[in-house]
Amino acid sequence: MKQWDWHNINILWILLFTSVSLGIWAYGKTSFAFFWYTPWLYLAQAAGIVAITNMSLTFVYTTRFKILGKFFGELQHVYRIHKLNSIIGTVFIVLHVSFFMIHSISYPTLFRYYLLPGSYWALDYGRISFLLFILLTGLSFSNRIPYHIWKMTHKFMGLAMLFAMLHVVTVTSDVKYNMLLRYWLIGLMSIGGLSCIYTLFLYRFWGPKKKYVVSKVQALNSDVTEIDMMPIGKPLKYDPAQFIFLSFLSSIVGKEVHPFSITTIEEDQKLQISFKVLGDYTKKLRHLEVGTEVDIWGPYGTFSEKYLLDNRDQVWIAGGIGVTPFLSILKHQNSHQLTSNKWFLYCTRSMEDAPYHQYLEKETENHDISYHHHQSNDQGFITIDYIRSQVPDFQNKVYMLSGPTLMMKLLQKDLHRSGVTFHHVIHEDFSLR
């Protein structure tokens, strides 16, 4: 699927659901003659309907159902769609409340009625939901709070949704009298609510889960550590470079669930991840004990699709720990010689930060892949000129990027500017936020 497709499909998806909701609402109005007398009231109702439609849909994207990947591609894209839907939902919740306030300005009794809590239960549900959505969305966009706190606060979105549902179902409005609208919105909210329950409480048990046990923990340098795991029962089936969510059943690490790329291939019996210390969790993970059981959910991701399906020559660019998906892809080359030419640019700060340099040098030589180690401490950040100097006819290649977000963003921009087609540049994103 081309890179821009998921975005376009999502816009169509949002427009479709929003139009159906608004269409049913407008169809149920006997007349719009009063629109000119109370325009803000009409706008407030319409904004509320757009808000609840989008907020309901946003929970569906958190379920990690494989079917979502068929429509939108990478799980990271699905999370971005989730984010876009939440933004639209929150903006329209604010508009819904603002339009009602504007409408009631010239009627002091009505204004007090809308503003003050305790006057009417249905409005109180709405007030609680409004405050929760605003607070939680504000927190969601703060990059300052640590990830685990961010994730914990994010779970309360379900509560905000519950109050929104109570508000919609109990308030005296078109939703009460227009039965088609009522059932349509209750249907959407139920799907959203059930998705939320699945994500928060049931995914742990019903998600695509396998059990493994840690067989080896090996530090490669002061930052990077590899963990090998063996299956208990049926092993995981996966493509090269896919990623998994892991929860180690360990008192040292805790049961937090974190995503990591797989560095082995399905034919290996063991499953391996390689991680760099970043925060509290990865610091503790270095002290994991052999014999620890681990729950694994997945696999997810389509990063290797181009590698597997596209015969064009490829350039692989890895920055730091972003090398992990390529370790799996390289191992895949051993058993499945694919015909296209390949270039591998491994970018690290220095030789000390490059635990895979020697391994890659040897492996790429075995597979006739042109390998270059780029050290930013000596050579500065990797640039389009550097790529041009190493890769002949560089515009007509497929680019696979995995590394720090900023590095990938800049490279993507420069490659597009230099004439590389948009869908010939794909990247693996290590962020789901």
- Contacts with ligand FAD: how many residues (CB under 6 A)? 23
Say what the alpha-carbon torsion angle 34, 40, 44, 47 is, to the nearest 10 degrees.
100
- Please report how close the Cβ of residue 212 comes to ligand FAD at its closest, in angstroms: 16
Site track 137-156 with ligand FAD (rule: CB under 6 A), x = hit:
---------xx---------
DSSP 106-122: T-HHHHHHHHSTTS-HH
What's CA 212's distance to the chain center, in Å?
A: 25
Q: Which is nearer to ligand FAD, 44 or 318 (CB)?
A: 318
Under the criterion CB under 6 A, does residue 106 sit at the interface with ligand FAD? no
Judged by CB under 6 A, the residue of 45, 86, 314, 324 near ligand FAD is 324
Under the criterion CB under 6 A, does residue 221 sit at the interface with ligand FAD? no
Which tokens is 232 given?
């208990």
Let me know: does 271 contact 237? Beta carbons within 8 Å.
Answer: no
Run of H or E including 298: strand 293-300
Q: Which is nearer to ligand FAD, 112 or 155 (CB)?
A: 155
Under the criterion CB under 6 A, does residue 287 sit at the interface with ligand FAD? no
Alpha-carbon gap, residue 284 to 252, rounded angstroms = 7
Instruction: Return the closest-CA partner of residue 271 out of 222, 226, 308, 306.
Output: 226
CA atoms within 13 A on the CB side of 19: 6
Under the criterion CB under 6 A, does residue 281 sit at the interface with ligand FAD? yes
Under the criterion CB under 6 A, does residue 64 sit at the interface with ligand FAD? no
Judged by CB under 6 A, the residue of 42, 100, 212, 260 near ligand FAD is 260
Under the criterion CB under 6 A, does residue 354 sit at the interface with ligand FAD? no
Task: Please identify the residue of the shown chain whose CB is closest to the bound ligand FAD.
Answer: 279
Under the criterion CB under 6 A, does residue 282 sit at the interface with ligand FAD? yes
For the chain, report the end-to-end CA distance as a whole number of angstroms. 23
Local structure of residue 411 (DSSP, 8 states): H
Under the criterion CB under 6 A, does residue 278 sit at the interface with ligand FAD? yes
Judged by CB under 6 A, the residue of 275, 297, 307, 356 near ligand FAD is 275
Judged by CB under 6 A, the residue of 89, 240, 259, 403 near ligand FAD is 259
Options 100-108, 183-191, 194-202, 267-275: segment touching ligand FAD (CB under 6 A): 267-275
Instruction: Return the closest-CA partner of residue 429 out of 148, 74, 86.
Output: 74
